[in-house]
């Protein structure tokens, strides 16, 4: 069995992509509505019909780009997730920049005066929503708020809106920065909690199929793998062999050296199994106590028996090393092969290998026996 892969942060990024996709859906249409309100208030459709329509089309196109293409499906690579996220942020920031340009136009053009108050109110609303909803990436969020809002405090002093409005708008920019940074910290805490829960779930899932002492599959997971491989063998006609191994006189190890030494013995035996059974797709498991199982897809009973003999001989030639010294331990192994054409199922293959293992015990231990041979 392969070790669990290292977490490269892809699940966390996938969560951020899902959150971003949820937050960007409705935002774009409000910029378009804001432009309609501001332009109509200023009488722009009659004064600059072409420009008014062009800006509206730009906001509409950016709103549509927020919802298409949809985020990558579950299981997408980190590269695809990051590419989609970068594209989405590009659309969001382009929308912010376009609104910032609209606000600057409203503040510097005297003909825009009737719609200036509406433009300021929309700007405050958009910047506040941006600080709350797009806090997922701190630097990008700060840039977006700046693109939307900063034309106001910089250009208001050159209008006839009055000093009080200019000071109030300038002070509100500080509030926006505080809100954004706080929202960013809260979102990172949510991601940290998500990571912790996911790691806990993965750990529980792994414990449900892994024997904690040896790191091999447990009996339950081994049974599922057995049924799966039997089905694959039946469908494709592939050979499959199974080994059941039982350590000889293991009780003596516990009685003479103690249970800690017995546990160490089982762990070292599992390590030896990993060294010997290197065939592609091999499934190794601790079935219980001092009994172990091996599934060898692609190998018939003869090839399985050869690998079983290699395992048996390795213990004789190179005893397991414990803290107390080398341990002369032997193993009895039963081997059975699966015939896709005889209607056999996984439980029958298991019983056949187990039966062969008891034959090896009865014939004097420290040997390999093949069912039916």
Name the residue ranges covered by the structural domains of the chain: 10-204, 219-370
User: Which position has the token pair 């630097």?
Assistant: 139
Q: Using 50, 70 and 90 to split pLDDT, how confident is the model at 340?
A: confident
Least confident of 138-152, 231-245, 337-351: 337-351
Least confident of 193-207, 279-293, 341-355: 193-207
Decide if pLDDT at 3 tops 50: no
**What does the pLDDT average to over 353-360?**
97
The residues near 166 (Cβ < 8 Å, ≥ 6 apart) are 153, 156, 157
Q: Using 50, 70 and 90 to split pLDDT, how confident is the model at 203?
A: confident
Q: What burial class does residue 264 get, using C-beta atoms within 10 Å of its C-beta: 0-12 exposed, 13-18 middle, 19+ buried? A: buried
What pLDDT score was predicted for residue 7? 60
Question: How many percent of the chain have pLDDT more than 70?
Answer: 98
Residue 293 and residue 310: Cα distance in Å, rounded?
A: 15
Global pTM? Answer: 0.66
**C-alpha dihedral, 145 to 150 to 152 to 156, nearest 10°:** 170
Residue 360 and residue 366: Cα distance in Å, rounded?
A: 7
Residue 334 and residue 313: Cα distance in Å, rounded?
A: 15
- Identify the residue with better confidence: 26 or 115: 115
Decide if pLDDT at 5 tops 70: no
Q: How far apart, in Å, are the Cα atoms of 161 and each of 37, 44, 108, 300?
A: 19, 20, 12, 88
- State the architecture of 219-370 in CATH terms: 2-Layer Sandwich (3.30)
The residues near 110 (Cβ < 8 Å, ≥ 6 apart) are none
DSSP label of 5: P
**What does the pLDDT average to over 333-348?**
89
Q: Using 50, 70 and 90 to split pLDDT, how confident is the model at 72?
A: very high
**Omega before 69 within 30 of 0, i.e. cis:** yes
In the chain, DSSP finds a helix count (H) and a strand count (E) of: 14, 7
User: Which position has the token pair 């509100």?
Assistant: 172
What pLDDT score was predicted for residue 186? 96
Residue 31 and residue 305: Cα distance in Å, rounded?
A: 73
Strand, helix or coil for residue 43:
coil
**What does the pLDDT average to over 336-348?**
87
The residues near 175 (Cβ < 8 Å, ≥ 6 apart) are none
Across the chain, what does the average pLDDT equal? 93
Strand, helix or coil for residue 326:
strand
**What does the pLDDT average to over 215-239?**
94
pLDDT digits (tens, 9 = 90+) for 77-124: 999 999 999 999 999 999 999 999 999 999 999 989 999 999 999 999
Q: Using 50, 70 and 90 to split pLDDT, how confident is the model at 75?
A: confident
What pLDDT score was predicted for residue 341? 77
Alpha-helical regions (H) of 109-155: 116-133, 138-149, 151-155
pLDDT digits (tens, 9 = 90+) for 269-303: 999 999 999 999 999 999 999 999 999 999 999 99
Residue 306 and residue 300: Cα distance in Å, rounded?
A: 10
């Amino acid at each position: 069995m392969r070790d669990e892969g290292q977490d490269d942060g892809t699940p966390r990024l996938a969560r951020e992509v899902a959150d971003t996709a949820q937050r960007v859906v409705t935002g774009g249409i409000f910029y378009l509505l804001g432009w309609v309100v501001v332009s109509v208030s200023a009488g722009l459709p009659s004064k600059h019909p072409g420009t008014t329509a062009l800006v509206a089309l730009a906001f509409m196109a950016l709103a549509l780009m927020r919802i298409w293409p949809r985020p990558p499906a579950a299981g997408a690579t980190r590269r695809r997730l990051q590419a989609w996220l970068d594209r989405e942020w590009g659309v969001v920031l382009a929308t912010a920049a376009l609104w910032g340009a609209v606000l600057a136009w409203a503040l510097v053009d005297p003909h825009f005066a009737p719609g200036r108050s509406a433009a300021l109110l929309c700007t405050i609303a958009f910047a506040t929503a941006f600080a709350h909803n797009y806090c997922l990436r701190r630097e990008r969020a700060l840039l977006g708020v700046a693109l939307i809002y900063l034309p106001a405090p910089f250009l208001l002093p050159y209008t006839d809106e009055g000093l009080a409005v200019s000071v109030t708008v300038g002070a509100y920019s500080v509030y926006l920065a505080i809100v954004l940074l706080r929202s960013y910290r809260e979102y990172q805490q949510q991601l940290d909690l998500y990571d912790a829960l996911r790691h806990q779930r993965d750990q529980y899932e792994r414990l449900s199929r892994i024997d904690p002492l040896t790191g091999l599959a447990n009996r339950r997971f081994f049974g599922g793998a057995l049924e799966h491989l039997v089905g694959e063998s039946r469908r494709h006609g592939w050979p499959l062999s199974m080994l059941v191994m039982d350590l000889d006189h293991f009780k003596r190890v516990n009685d003479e050296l103690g249970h800690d030494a017995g546990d160490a013995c089982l762990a070292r035996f599992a390590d030896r199994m990993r060294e010997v059974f290197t065939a592609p797709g091999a499934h190794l498991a601790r079935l219980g106590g001092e009994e172990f199982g091996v599934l060898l897809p692609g190998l018939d009973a003869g090839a399985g028996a050869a690998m079983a003999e290699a395992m048996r001989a390795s213990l004789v030639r190179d005893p397991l090393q414990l803290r107390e010294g080398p341990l002369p331990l032997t193993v009895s192994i039963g081997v059975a092969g699966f015939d896709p054409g005889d209607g056999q199922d996984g439980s029958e293959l298991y019983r056949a290998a187990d039966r062969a293992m008891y034959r090896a015990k009865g014939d004097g231990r420290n040997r390999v026996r093949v069912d039916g041979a």
